[in-house]
Amino acid sequence: MSWEEDGYTLDLAGNVRTLPAVLQPTSGPEGPEGASISQLRLTLKATAKDWLSVEAHAVQVIGFATRPQPFSELHTLGPQRYRALKLSGAWSSTDRFVAIAGIDRLSVTASAPWFDVTVGRQPINFSKAYFWSPLDVFLPFSPRVIDREYKPGVDAVRVDVPLGEVSGLNAVAAAGPELRIDPATGEVAPQEDAFAASADTSAFLVRAFTNVASWDVSVQAGSVYGGYQLGAGVAGELLEAVAVRAEATYKHSRRTNPVPLPSEDGRFVTIDMVRHQPSFVIGLERRFESSLYLSAEYFYNGTAGKALERGAVRSVLGETTNLSSHLVGAVASYELLPTLVVRLSGILALPRPSSLITPGLTWSPAQNVDIDAGALVAIGARPRARGAAPVLESEFGSYPHVYYMQMKAYF
C-alpha cells in the first residue's frame, strides 16, 4: 500500500515465507529429522520531502522441529554482534518449538546538502564479495545461509559524505554487547538487559572510496569487536568481460576473551576468541547474454587456526563464518525460463578436505510469489568420538545434509 502527497510518501508492505526442511545427520545413530522456520515481515518506509526518511521492519518467526533444537541449521542470522538494544525475544518456546517477535530494522535518515545521517537499527555492508566478505564486519552472512534477501540490521549511527560523483566517505559507530558462551548449551547466552554495550565490543569505522581507471577502490579502518581492523578492496572488469573483486583485512587484537577447550589428550587448554589475523578474498564472475552466470572465490581465513574445534568456538561468537583456513567457492546459475532459474554452488575447505554442494532452483509462478527448492549436501570426514567432546575431522563433515523448499509471498 502506497500513499503520496505534497512530497510526503508512505509505503506499507510485507511478506510471508516458510522454510520446511528435512535434516539428515551424517554421523551418529539418529535418523532424519524435520524442521521448519516461518516468518512474517511487515515493512514501513516513509519520507518527508527530500530531507527525512524512516524505515522499520517488524518480524515474527515461528519454528517447529521433530527433535530438540535443530533450528540453528535453518537460521539466517549468526551471533548478535552490534545489537545493543534488546528489540526481540521469544514469547513462547519449548525444545521443539519457538516463537520470536522483534524489530529487525528501525532507523531515521536525515539528508543535508553535504551529508546524510542514519540513526537506528540498519543493515550495513561495505563488501562486494559473495561467499566471504572480509570488509563486512556487521553481521555478515555465512556461506551456508539459505535466505539472503534481508541483511540483519545493527544498532548504529552512520554518516555518508559524498565527495564528487564517484568518491565519498562513510563513518559508522555501532554499539553492541559482549557475547558469552552458555556452558549448558554451547551457544551464545541471550541478552538480559534492555541495553548492553561496551567500548571493547562496539565499533567505530571510517571508510573512503573512489573510482580509479574504472576500478572501484576503498579503504577502511577503525575499532571493531575485540580489536582494530584495517582493510581495502578493489572491484572492476578485465577486458570488459570478467568482473574481478578482491578484499583484504588485518585485525589486531585489543584484548583476549579466553575460553577453556578440550585438547587431543583430554586436558583443557585456554584459547583466545579474538586474535591477530589477516584475511583476504579474491573472486571472478562472468555474465553471459544467454543468462548463464558463473562466479568463483578463494578465501584465506586467518581467524580459523589449525584446530577446527577452536574455529568452531570462534564461529559461535561471530569471529568467523568458517572453520577452515583455505576455502574455494563457485556458483553457476541459468535462466531456463523467465520464471525458472536453476543454480549449483559448491565450497571446498582445506587443509582437511571437505565440501558443501548446494543445488537449487527458483520458480516464480506469480509476480508476488517465489518458490525455492534445494539441498545442502555435506561431504567430509565425520567427527571422531572422544567422550563428551567429539574431535572434528573436517569442517563440512560435521554438518547434516539439508533438503528444503522455501515459499515466499509478498503483499
Render each residue's pLDDT in the chain as its tens digit; 411 residues. Answer: 899 999 899 999 999 999 999 999 877 677 899 999 999 999 999 999 999 999 999 999 999 999 876 565 565 556 689 999 999 998 998 889 999 999 999 999 999 999 999 999 999 999 999 999 999 999 999 888 999 999 999 999 999 999 999 999 999 999 999 888 776 666 777 788 999 999 999 999 999 999 999 999 999 999 999 899 999 999 999 988 999 999 999 999 886 566 655 555 555 556 666 667 899 999 999 999 999 999 999 999 998 877 787 778 788 888 889 999 999 999 999 999 999 999 999 999 999 999 999 999 999 999 999 999 999 999 999 988 765 567 889 999 989 999 999 999 999
Coil/strand/helix, residue 242: strand
Render 177-227 in DSSP notation, one character per residue.
PPP-B-TTTSSBPPP-SSB---TTTSEEEEEEEEEETTEEEEEEEEEETTE
User: How many Cβ atoms from other residues are within 10 Å of residue 268's Cβ?
Assistant: 10
Which domains does the chain carry?
2-410 (2.40.160.100)
Give the model's pLDDT for residue 70. Answer: 56
User: Whole-prediction pTM value?
Assistant: 0.91
Residue 40: alpha-carbon gap to chain centroid: 20
Give the model's pLDDT for residue 179. Answer: 86
Q: With beta carbons less than 8 A apart as the criterion, state whether 132 and 145 touch.
A: no
Query: Going by C-beta distance under 8 Å and a sequence separation of 6 or more, which residues neighbour residue 256?
Result: 272, 273, 274, 275
Rounded CA gap, 271 and 263, in Å? 11
Rounded CA gap, 100 and 188, in Å? 16
Give the model's pLDDT for residue 256. Answer: 58
Query: Going by C-beta distance under 8 Å and a sequence separation of 6 or more, which residues neighbour residue 28?
Result: none
Give the model's pLDDT for residue 255. Answer: 64
